[in-house]
Amino acid sequence: MKDPFPAYAELRAEQPVMFDERTGYYVVSRYDDIKAVFDDWETFSSENAQAPVRERGPQAKRIMEEGGFTAYSGLSARRPPEHTRIRAVAQKAFTPRRYKVLEPFIRQNIVDQIERMLARPERRGDLFRDLAYDVPTITILTLIGADTGMVDTYKRWSDSRAAMTWGNLSDEEQIPHAHNLVEYWQECQRLVAHAKEHGGDNLTADMVKAQAEGAEISDHEIASLLYSLLFAGHETTTTLISNTFRVLLADQAQWQRVVEDEKLVNGTIDEVLRYSGSIVAWRRKALKDTEVAGVPIPDGAGLLLLMGAANRDDTQFEDPEAFDITRPNAREHLSFGYGIHYCLGNQLARLQARIALQEIAGRAPGLRLADPESITFRENISFRVPESVPVTWEA
Ligand code: HEM
């Protein structure tokens, strides 16, 4: 996880579609192949996108059954026509008006966090913990109408979700996480019931209102969407904000350019998404006998699409191993997927990273990475999450 890029390069060059015995997945690493798979949803379904990589153990299964855990992916693992129907309702709730209302609130929250960090006399901080961790969580909780005092609880539930689905836990290790998932799902259902009874000015209430006005979506589907958003809506953005500073501060010349010219901020965020995406791999399942780049793929096979590798494919990006904030086609990265499942929250993620970069660049131009070698990444097949971004700054 610390540096998968040499392995990615080897795969692209030597085995762009490789069957991996250990996981049982066909691993795909070239840009054009991954984009084509994403685009062909009739052959390659997303139904395995949220399936546990390692099967749940008997104790975890029992805890989840007894706890009434019936959550199902809000959107990403659903197939048309169900996916089309639910996405239409969700998309209507993700309106520009909601972002407009949220923006000043997000900015204020970011400024408060930064100023708190910069006030420390020892002039040391951790942008993962001091900024990236809370901000997107508070944003999504506000958007959904959930309790913003529960950041740590939602982070705990989300960590469990990431570990239980894309991690490699033993049966024993799964037990506390199974309890967390039960609590998490119960809270999603409670939020739907609360919006039905009390209304509100938030995304949950919007979806409940749409349902009352005839939109075809069940309570269980709305709760499942919350189950997705309360995870997807912050975990990956925490990583994006962390990576923005981890990567940019490592290159002080480019950092200074951003400090001096705010117009470079948007391009920088997309280059970070390309160069070091929050999600480096995502799954699909073949629905018939087919092929990718001439390699036969049998009906029912799982595919692991390495977007982290695609984003450094030199057939798509010139000098791909270089981080370049002025790269003209950085936005063509596949970090938000592609096609019918293209990330619903991409604008919200970009907005928060953009504000974080603008506000820090304006307040702490002398910011530096303190100890880049100490940064570790969690063990996970899809989410490449730096666990700290230690920084220091001049007086
Ligand atoms: C840097 C931040 C983010 C990254 C890298 C990211 C990445 C992704 C990826 C790779 C997918 C799957 C695409 C596919 O299967 O083709 C996805 C789907 C999705 N994302 Fe994001 N995401 C981010 C932020 C967000 C945020 C902030 C939200 C919500 C507020 C969100 C909500 C969703 C939803 C609901 C889907 C499912 C869409 C569908 O299946 O139709 N994401 N995202």
Which candidate, 278, 231, 204, 237, places its Cα nearest to that of 71?
231
Q: What is the pLDDT of residue 166?
A: 87
CA angle, residues 344, 202, 90, in degrees to nearest 5: 30
Residues 353, 358, 362, 363: what is their CA dihedral angle, to the nearest 10 degrees?
-30
Give residue 384's pLDDT: 96
| Segment 65-102, tens digit of pLDDT | 999 999 988 999 999 999 999 999 999 888 888 888 89
Residue with tokens 């506390």: 176
Long-range CB pairs of 197-206 (<8 Å, 24+ gap) are 200/145, 201/145, 202/142, 202/143, 202/144, 202/145, 203/93, 203/94, 203/98, 203/143, 203/144, 203/145, 203/229, 204/144, 204/145, 205/145, 206/92, 206/93
Q: Going by CA atoms, what residue is nearest to atom 18 of ligand 1?
A: 343
Give yes or no for residue 242 CB within 6 A of ligand 1.
no
Q: Is 308 in the pocket of ligand 1 (CB under 6 A)?
A: no
Distance 158 CA to ligand 1 centre (A): 15
Q: Which CATH superfamily is domain 5-392 in?
A: Cytochrome P450 (1.10.630.10)
Q: How far apart are CA 229 and CA 192, in angstroms?
A: 13
Measured CA distances, 218 to 85, 307, 314 (Å): 11, 33, 45
Q: How far apart are the C-alpha atoms of 123 and 344, rounded to whole Å?
A: 37
Which atom of ligand 1 lies at the shortest distance from residue 338's CA?
Answer: 16
Å from CA of 338 to ligand 1 middle: 10
Nearest-atom number in ligand 1 for the CA of 74 is 35
Which atom of ligand 1 lies closest to the CA of 77?
40
What's the gap in Å between 335 CA and the centre of ligand 1?
9
Is 125 near ligand 1, meaning CB less than 6 Å away?
no
pLDDT at 379: 84
Q: Whose CA is nearest to atom 9 of ligand 1?
A: 336
pLDDT of 383 reads 93
Give me the residues of the chain with pLDDT under 70, please: none
Does the C-beta of 279 come closer than 6 Å to ligand 1?
yes
